[in-house]
C-alpha cells in the first residue's frame, strides 16, 4: 500500500506520519507492505509507485471542501488513483467531506485519527478492512 502523507502538525511531519501509519498497517496485517511517500511535493514516480502498491492511503490533517477547491496534494493523489483504477483510502485528522465530496475523490473509506496512537490504530483498523 502506498501511504501518501501530509504533515499532521507539531512533531508529526509527513514522513513521521507515514511511518506511524505504516507500523499500524503492519500490526493489522503482517503481510501488508507500506511504501512511505510524503507528499510535501508529489514525487515524479507517484503513478508507478501507485500501480506497484495496488492501493493508496492518503493521510491528511484535514479533508474538507477546501481540499477540493485548492486541488492540494491529497486531492491530486486521490484523483490519480481514481483515474488509474487504484483504490484509495484516507486517514484524516478531521473529515469534513460530505458523501458527495467523498465520492468525487472516490475514497473507499475515511477514518479520523489524531496523534501517534490514533494514527497507528487507524492504520491497524484499515489493514483489517483490506
Per-residue pLDDT tens over the stretch 1-11: 999 999 987 78
Q: What are phi and psi of 18, to 5 degrees?
A: -60, -40
Q: What is the pLDDT of residue 24?
A: 94
Cα distance between residue 40 and residue 13, in whole Å: 9
**Cβ count near 66 (within 10 Å):** 11
Give domain 2-120's CATH number out of 3.40.50.970, 3.40.50.10350, 3.40.47.10, 3.40.50.720: 3.40.50.10350
Report the mean per-residue pLDDT for the chain.
Answer: 90
pLDDT band at residue 73 under the 50/70/90 scheme:
confident
Question: Is 24:120 a contact under the CB 8 Å cutoff?
Answer: yes
Report, as an integer, the average pLDDT of 90-115.
92
Least confident segment among 58-62, 66-70, 97-101 = 66-70
User: What residue ranges do the domains of the chain occupy?
Assistant: 2-120
Q: What is the pLDDT of residue 92?
A: 94
Q: What is this structure's pTM?
A: 0.91
Amino acid at each position: 500500500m502506498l501511504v501518501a502523507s501530509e504533515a499532521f502538525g507539531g512533531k508529526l511531519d509527513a514522513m513521521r506520519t507515514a511511518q506511524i501509519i505504516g507500523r499500524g498497517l503492519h500490526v493489522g496485517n503482517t503481510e501488508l507492505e507500506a511504501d512511505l511517500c510524503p507528499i510535501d511535493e508529489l514525487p515524479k514516480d507517484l503513478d508507478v509507485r501507485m500501480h506497484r502498491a495496488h492501493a493508496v492511503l492518503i493521510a491528511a490533517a484535514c479533508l474538507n471542501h477546501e481540499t477540493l477547491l485548492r486541488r492540494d496534494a491529497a486531492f491530486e493523489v486521490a484523483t490519480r488513483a481514481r483515474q488509474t483504477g487504484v483504490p484509495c483510502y484516507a486517514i484524516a485528522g478531521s473529515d469534513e467531506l460530505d458523501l458527495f465530496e467523498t465520492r468525487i475523490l472516490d475514497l473507499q473509506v475515511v477514518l479520523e485519527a489524531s496523534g501517534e496512537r490514533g494514527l497507528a490504530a487507524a492504520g491497524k483498523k484499515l489493514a483489517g478492512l483490506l
